[in-house]
Amino acid sequence: MLMRGKQTTIPSGAIQVQDVVLEYPVYRSVVRDRFRALLGVVMPSLMPPVRRVLDRVSFAIKPGEVVGIVGRNGAGKTSLLKVVSGLVSPTDGMVRVGGRIMALLAMGIGFRPMYTGRENLMLGGLLLGLETRVIANLISDIAQFSELGDALDQPYFTYSSGMRSRLAFSLATSIPADIVILDETLAVGDLRFVAKCYQRLKEIRDSGKTVLFVSHNLGEVARLTSRVLVLESGRLTLDGDVFEGLKKYEESLAEESLTAPIISPELKDVDVSLVVRNGQGQPLKVIELGQRVSIELTIVVQQDLGESFVFLRMMSMENNQLYAYLSLKRWETLREIPEERDSLHIAAGETTITWTLPYWICGEGSYFIDAYVGPACAPDAPDLSRGRFWRHAVRLRSVYSNAYLKGACGLAEMPVESVTMKTVTAPGRRSGDSR
Amino acid sequence: MTIGEFTRAARLTLSLARHEIAVQRKESFLGLVWIVLWPVIQAGGFLFAFNLIRGGSSGIDTVLSTYIGVLVWTTASSILVSNLSILKSNREMITHVVFSFSILSVVDLTVKYLFFLIQFCIGLALWLLLIPNEHWYLVLIYLPIYLLAFYLVLLAMAWTASIVGVALPDLSFFLPPVLTLLLVLSPVFQRDADALPWLVRVFNELNPLSTWVDVLYSTIGVATTGLHAPILFLALSIVAVTAAHFLVKVFYREMAKVI
């Protein structure tokens, strides 16, 4: 049941969700089951089997709060937004919303191809319940923000996807509302416009409106929100502090990755652990830009692996992009030092490889490091299917110590001061190899 | 619904209808000329096929009553057919944009109805000018009642069709040829009902489109057939639209999940 602010005493901008259950029909035959689902509205016994996408979700949001919703694909984030915005009525439970909601659940949906951008703005505004006069006043602001210029009077079908997203975002965030709901809507457009969108969101946040925000970009969730809801398989598993919530979400992602199948069965008795330490040797989870760190990879094997190829790759948790690659060779300005080895002999026992980085250069965000161990191969055409990846061997958060660096990010060469190797063989015999 | 809400809904409908008409104008070389041209061609084609070739009457009253009858029939059938798929064709919008999507049928109906009014007024003006009618002022009094009732009954049909069309999509294929067939058998072309086989007569009596054409003919020739027809039609249309609104409230609530 969806109750609007007028009917209840809930303050404007507040949201109360109580024991909400949402179920969708499961389609085996679309036409037949849709027919049954419609008849099921009046005769529940005819309803086809259902899939529960939200399971007893409860939370309350105060006016002016900015809340991020995170979770894996299919966790129920969009369904929750649909229920809160009133697009879908819950199967059970209660949703109470105070004031006007502006929900942008998809970019450009509902815009008519033959209408001009201006006409689509008018149409969108009218559908959202605004007066023609109010929309006419908003259009000049929207035109300025979207930077569409003369294109605003061209048919919508001539717009590029970037222009469409600019138009939709500009409309959605210009409409006066007490609650703004956004679903993954910023992942489009050029970088400059995305930055502008975030600035607009910050302005909305600072103006005291309630914002519900779904994103897979955890850095932005951390930056924009003060509270996070973590959804897993339709259940609310955490409702609280943003960093605690993001940590939980990252852990759930990592668990999934760590259970990935082993590519090479002959490497199943290999144990790998990875630790990142600061200059004093203490383990780190949060690294400041410019900090001196060492990354310590320990490989424990029962049998001699022979000449092996080992490397680490550091990936962004937010977009799964490669940020750094660390092999046994040091690299200098993207050129390898030819005399250095790219493989090592891994004997039975424990082998530790330590990369010392004089300064950490990865931008603000969350990262994970994958470790790879496999048979030695030609470095220019390595066959990685013969080895094994340890996904998410370690997870890190990089932060800025200097406000001027905010917003800096990108792929960069990771400077390596030294790579050292130390082996403790199985019976306790110790041998070393250091550079 | 308060007066304020009704005014807002009416204003929204008219604004959206105006935009739709503007788009339709842009989408062809002749633009809005088609509003007049299309029913003339259509009624002319039907007249040629069913009256002149068969050797029926070609008097001005036959031509104008056929024009008006075809107009009512084709307006109603095009609204019926388009609303069978209106929710599915706007699926993305319904599942992503928060708005009262019962407005989709209202806008579609209003656009087609505005076109109908223009086409109908041309036919009516010719009817009143060319066919002597001493009670013409009664026609002008009762016609608005018919037109309001016709709008309401079309709205009831559009809303119901939008729900039925989701449950039974095959109707979109089945109905257009059936409606054309029924038009041929309807009072538009078969003036002498007694000469028709009993099965066709039953079909015509059960077919609401035939009834709406009959009521319009009664309204235009009000002096001879009585005044009650448009008033009864209005009463029935209010019942129909209330029932359809109830269906909308019950089924549209679940539509974003089902569609």
Encode pLDDT of B109-144 as tens digits: 999 999 999 999 999 899 888 888 777 787 888 889
Of B22, B26, B97, the CB nearest to A110: B97
Encode pLDDT of A135-158 as tens digits: 888 898 888 888 888 999 999 999
User: Which of B11, B97, B99 to mutate: most A Cβ within 10 Å?
Assistant: B97
pLDDT above 50 for A1: no
What amino acid occupies position A348? Answer: A
- Assign A434 a pLDDT band (cuts: 50, 70, 90): very low
Distance CA A289, CA A177 (A): 39
Contact (Cβ atoms closer than 8 angstroms) between residue A365 and residue A399: no
ipTM over 0.85: no
Q: Which residues does A266 contact at the CB level (< 8 Å), separation at least 6?
A: none
pLDDT above 70 for A264: no
To the nearest whole Å, the CA of B25 is away from the closest chain A CA by 11
For residue B242, being part of any structural domain is answered with yes
pLDDT at B161: 96
Number of domains observed in the structure of chain B: 1
- Assign A379 a pLDDT band (cuts: 50, 70, 90): low
pLDDT at A431: 45
For residue B111, being part of any structural domain is answered with yes
How many percent of chain A have pLDDT more than 90? 15
Closest to A212 measured CA to CA, from A238, A194, A185? A185
Name the average pLDDT for chain A.
78
Residues of B in contact with A132 (CB under 8 A): 11, 15
Of B92, B251, B259, the CB nearest to A109: B92
Average pLDDT over residues A227-238: 92
* Topology (CATH) of A263-433: Coagulation Factor XIII; Chain A, domain 1 (2.70.50)
For residue B6, being part of any structural domain is answered with no
pLDDT at B253: 84
Does residue B5 belong to the interface with chain A, where contact is any CB pair within 8 Å?
Answer: no
pLDDT at A76: 92
pLDDT at A152: 92
pLDDT above 70 for A319: no
A117-127 and A161-174 are packed helices; what angle lies between their axes, rounded to 10 degrees?
Answer: 40
First to last CA, chain A: 68
Encode pLDDT of A178-216 as tens digits: 998 888 766 566 777 877 888 888 888 888 899 998 887
pLDDT at A320: 65
Question: What DSSP string runs through B171-182?
Answer: HHHHHHHHHHHH
Domain ranges of chain A: 2-254, 263-433
Residue B114: which domain range? 34-47+60-258
Same fold, A2-254 and A263-433: no
For residue B90, being part of any structural domain is answered with yes
| pTM for the predicted model, two decimal places | 0.71
Does residue A114 belong to the interface with chain B, where contact is any CB pair within 8 Å?
Answer: yes
Does residue B249 belong to the interface with chain A, where contact is any CB pair within 8 Å?
Answer: no
For residue B202, being part of any structural domain is answered with yes
pLDDT above 80 for A70: yes
pLDDT at B148: 94
pLDDT at B246: 94
Considering Cα of A91, then A97, then A99, then A102, what sign does the dihedral take?
negative
Average pLDDT over residues A129-134: 82
Q: Which residues does B198 contact at the CB level (< 8 Å), separation at least 6?
A: none
pLDDT at A359: 81
For residue B100, being part of any structural domain is answered with yes
Residue ranges of chain B with per-residue pLDDT less than 70:
1-2, 4-5, 51-58, 222-227
Name which CATH class applies to A2-254: alpha beta
Does residue A105 belong to the interface with chain B, where contact is any CB pair within 8 Å?
Answer: yes
pLDDT above 90 for A314: no
pLDDT at B165: 94
pLDDT at A6: 44
